[in-house]
Amino acid sequence: MSSTSRAGRPKASSRETLAEAACELFLERGYDATSVADITQRAGVSRSSFFNYFSSKSDVLWSGLDERIGRAIEDLVIVPEDRDGTHMRRILSELVDDFAPDSLALAMTNSSAMGLDDELEQDAALRQARLAAALADLAHRSGVAALTSDIVAATWAAAVLAAVRAWAESGAGRGSVGDRFADAVRAIGRLPWGDSARD
């Protein structure tokens, strides 16, 4: 039997309640002017509850994507080799599959109003680097030279983060992250500045 609130709606988890409270406060006060204490007070939960779910204020926004990246990295680590990239493409496609609008999408579409432009850029770079490291390891295990492994891994990790951002900015209810990732994959095949572009 599910727990319901006094209004008769299913009770949101503390994690969801914290994410909603954080987004409300970021819109009202701005990111820098909002503290963890403000978020927990708005959500009606304890400070220790906050840190059961998140390690920092910015993690409130990224937790959904962080879980997906974590699962993708776990899957990438156990692939012994992937010479044609089949496993890598499947794992990254699963990462973006059925991505629903969440606090990150809201933050990306309202980043200026929330005072989050710099924070989101830095946080996205950290997630991209984490995913790229796992992709580079797989490429290296698959016989790709170190320099090329780093380049190809950075490209594919950037495609994931770019797809999430493009989806959010186009209106998270329109299309899917998977659609935007498919666009990014096609773009990878047409990248400029290669040797062929100079011929």
Comparing CA positions, the residue from 131, 69, 119 lying closest to residue 94 is: 69
Query: Which has the closest alpha carbon to 110: 44, 198, 22?
Result: 22
Q: pLDDT: is 193 or 30 the higher one?
A: 30
123's CB contacts (< 8 A; 6+ apart) are: 58, 61, 62
Distant-in-sequence, close-in-space partners of 135: CB < 8 Å, separation ≥ 6: 76, 88, 152, 153, 156, 157
Residue 17 has pLDDT above 80, yes or no: yes
pTM for the predicted model, two decimal places: 0.87
Amino acid letter, 177: V
Q: What is the DSSP letter of 9?
A: S
Does the pLDDT value for residue 127 go beyond 80?
A: yes
- Rounded mean pLDDT of the chain? 89
Q: Which residues contact 100 (CB under 8 A, 6 or more apart)?
A: none
- Name beta bridge partners: 4: 10
Q: What is the dihedral of CA 27, 29, 30, 32, to 10 degrees?
A: -150
Residue with tokens 């773009």, as numbered in its chain: 187
pLDDT digits (tens, 9 = 90+) for 39-81: 999 999 999 999 999 999 999 999 999 999 999 999 999 999 9
Cβ-contact 101, 170 below 8 angstroms: no
CB-neighbour burial class of residue 196 (10 A; exposed 0-12, middle 13-18, buried 19+): exposed
| Radius of gyration in angstroms for the set of CA atoms belonging to the chain, rounded to a whole number | 19
Q: Are 135 and 104 in contact (CB under 8 A)?
A: no
What tokens does 195 get? 């040797």
DSSP 54-70: -SSTTHHHHHHHHHHHH
- Write the pLDDT tens digit of every residue in 141-172: 999 999 999 999 999 999 999 999 999 998 86
The DSSP symbol for 100 reads: P
pLDDT (mean) for 20-37: 95
The C-alpha atoms of residue 107 and residue 112 are separated, in whole angstroms, by 9
